Amino acid sequence: MQDLINIGVKSIFIDNMIFAYFLGMCSYLAVSKKVSTAIGLGAAVIFVLGITIPLNWLVYNYFLKPGAMTWTGIEELATADLSFIGLIIYISVIASFVQLTEMVVEKLSPALYAALGIFLPLIAVNCSILGGALFMIGRPYNLAEATTFGLGSGIGWFLAVVALAAIREKLKYSHVPAPLRGLGITFIIVGLMSFGFLSFMGFSIN
């Protein structure tokens, strides 16, 4: 349990997807103009990361990893190493899951679709989703830890995008030099926020 809490805290604050790795920056900058849209996309990221990371964990550990397919009982498969096609598999899992969710949500809950729907296609190409999958592969997580990592990374992304959106809303009332307006000042603010998050470094529960 303690391990899970530590992984959760680490992925939310210390290894924050935005401030430590700068993953998912494109959509991060695009939707952080208003707090309401930021909350929408942030929630969608938590949802998709929380599900696709365990899904990709299963795919990696039962199909792709060297020797992962011993459960089939076929000798040729038991020694197969498919990890080199991992990339194409992870992204297919992510993209098909996103498309599936979009279709299900559209049928079942039009209200939720109206709120989240436009963000879902954006998520398939959000680097933080694929990045999360690749980080997860590189670390010796079990299924519960992988799920915690996925949810934690999503929450970290959510926090980062909502915080930036709130700052950018206030920024409208300040005098920024004309060429720096918009993208330039946003980058500098992200850098300063990243300094703030550095203060969580080394934080853990023993």
Partner 1 sequence: MATATVEEKKVAAPKEPIFGRKERQLLSDPLDLNNPITVQVLGICSALAVTVQMKPALFMALGVTFVTMMSNFFISLLRNSIPSRVRIIVQLAVVSTFVILVDQILKAYFYDVSKQLSVFVGLIVTNCIIMGRLEAFAMGNKPFPSLIDGLGNGLGYGAILMIVAFFREIFGSGSVFGFKVFDAMGINYIGNGVLVIPAGASIVIGLVIWAQRARNGQVEEE
Minimum distance of partner 1 from residue 34's CB (angstroms): 11
If you write DSSP's letter for every residue of 5-65 in order, what string do you get? HHHHHIIIIIT-TTTTT-TTHHHHHHHTTSHHHHHHHHHHHHHHHHHHHHHHHHHIIIIIS
Cα–Cα distance between 161 and 81 in angstroms, integer? Answer: 38
Please say which residue, 73 or 107, places its beta carbon nearer to partner 1: 107
65 binds partner 1 (CB under 8 A): no
84 binds partner 1 (CB under 8 A): yes
Please say which residue, 71 or 187, places its beta carbon nearer to partner 1: 187
Q: What residues contact residue 11 under an 8 Å CB cut-off, 6+ apart?
A: 148, 149, 152, 153, 156
For partner 1, the binding residues in 99-138 under the rule CB under 8 A are 99, 121, 124-127, 129-131, 134-135, 138
21 binds partner 1 (CB under 8 A): yes
58 binds partner 1 (CB under 8 A): no
Q: Is 16 left (phi over 0), alpha (psi -120 to 50) or beta?
A: beta
Q: Which two tokens stand for residue 136?
A: 């997860």
184 binds partner 1 (CB under 8 A): yes
Instruction: Name the site residues for partner 1 (rule: CB under 8 A).
Output: 19-26, 29-30, 33, 84-85, 87-88, 91-92, 95-96, 99, 121, 124-127, 129-131, 134-135, 138, 171-172, 177-188, 190-192, 194-195, 198
